[in-house]
Structure 1
Amino acid sequence: MPFVEISLARGKSAEHLEAVSRSVRDALVAELKADPEDIFQLIHQHDPHERVFSRTFRGDPRSDDWTVFRITDTADRGTGVRRRLCKTLVRLLREGPGVEPADVSVLITVIPPDSFSFAGGVLGSDAEAAEALEAARDKSAARTAYTGAEMTYALSGLFERRDLDLILPMLRDDFLLSVPTSLPYGGEFTGPEAFRGFFSGVPGGAEVWESFSSSVDQILEGDDHFTVQLTNTAVPKATGKKLVFHNLWLFETADGTLVSGQLYADTAVVTTTAPAGKGP
């Protein structure tokens, strides 16, 4: 549900505040098809000198009950929907708490989902992608195309949590994974199962590393590709000393699927500290 801030005169009863809150929630449910349980509101009460407003500009004379609704949404639903929302809100406020239409001002702002986080530092775009992918799991028909936000979320899960479940369905059957052959685990790997084998553990396995973890610095989306920049923290088995190094993955896309992946890395970091071994 969109985030709502309500500003009105101080001194209103708890019953009045509850009725105002309920009116805007019901309007959002009716016109934006919002989830009634997904409610986030802040109510601000102001002393008389803290509210400065015209009594007559673009409306009938406003009273001391002037109430402002600031609605922040993550989807541009169009002028028609916004018009219906305002009219429904005005009607419900008059029927419920008794706020006159002349005393109702509405400000609607649209922001991208990645400019909002509900909790835990998770961006709204990631939350939406996770919800969409989870919903797809419950459907018998396989998805044939995925959005950029969904691919971004799946790539993040792959490198930060070794989560393969989300990304594997996004791979084309002939997906080509290319890793520099100068690495002890380099080569080309074709198809989702080969992809699963490569990413199911650390690169090169226990023959190369005592430990290996990655954090995503950023994921950049282009017209037909994603660039994933990583910071890796690892302990080579050959030396037992911790290394911190960076690399980059380039994933190409077509028709809502991932078609290839290429690792760009400072291979000297690995080849000078690790013995020759076999990649997964």
Structure 2
Amino acid sequence: MPLVQVSLRRGKPAEYHQALFEGVYRAMRETFDVPEDDRFMTITEHDDSTFSVSPTYYGVERSDEAVIIRITANNTRDLAQKQALYLRIVELLQANPGVRPEDVFINLVEVLPENWSFGNGIAQYAVQQG
């Protein structure tokens, strides 16, 4: 159950946002064992004063078009799945909506299954385990 939060500079059209959603979701389905309809995603746009990304950290040349993708997910995937996810997100977002690979910053936050409630105040994954 990944929760995806995308941050970018203000000014992109709805079609650009939708392409980001579709690309990340498709990459998760293809590489991360995410079931169909497991889709919880947000996009937050920022003005220049509330969005700061290093243009050169770790030897990567980023532009003002950088996109930060934070994925919160259960800690059940191995390193190979994580690497495949990162690469596939970059491939798909480069194809549509045209994000440069250097401008895709991904942060994976892993949590325990009992840290989710899908509604009704119930920790559904914890109930399944217990």
TM-score computed with the length of structure 1 as normaliser: 0.45
2:3 alignment partner in structure 1: 3
Greater strand proportion: 1
In the alignment, structure 2 segments of 5+ residues that lack a partner are none
For residues 123 and 99 of structure 2, what CA distance do their matches in structure 1 show?
A: 36
Residue of structure 1 in register with 2:104 after alignment: 104
Q: Secondary structure at the match of 1:15?
A: helix
Q: Which amino acid aligns with 1:4?
A: V
Cα distance, 1:42 vs. partner?
1.2
How many Å apart are 1:75 and its aligned residue? 3.0
Give the Cα separation in 1 of the matches to 2:29 and 2:7: 21
Aligned to 2:60: 60
Q: Quick one: percent identity of the two aligned structures? A: 32
1:91 aligns with 2:107: no
For 1:65 and 1:7, locate their aligned partners in 2 and report how far apart those are by CA, in whole Å: 11
**Residue number in structure 2 paired with 1:28:** 28
Over aligned residues, Cα RMSD in angstroms? 1.2
Shift of 1:44: 0.6
Q: Larger helix proportion, structure 1 or 2?
A: 2
Give, as a single letter, the amino acid of the residue that structure 2 aligns with 1:93: L
Cα shift at 1:122: 1.1
Q: Specify the structure having the higher radius of gyration (Cα).
A: 1
1:2, 1:40 within 8 Å by CA — same for their partners in 2? Answer: yes
Report if aligned partners of 1:59, 1:102 keep a CA contact under 8 Å in 2. no
TM-score normalized by the length of structure 2: 0.94
Contact 1:8 1:65 in 2 (8 A): yes
Cα separation, 1, equivalents of 2:115 and 2:22? 26
Q: Where in structure 2 are the equivalents of 1:1-280 lying within 5 Å?
A: 1-126=1-126, 129=128, 149=129, 152=130
Superposed CA offset, 1:133-168 (max 9, x none): xxxxxxxxxxxxxxxx2xx2xxxxxxxxxxxxxxxx
How far apart are residue 126 of structure 1 and its match?
3.5
Structure 1 stretches of 5 or more lacking a match? 130-148, 153-280
Letter aligned with residue 71 of structure 1: I
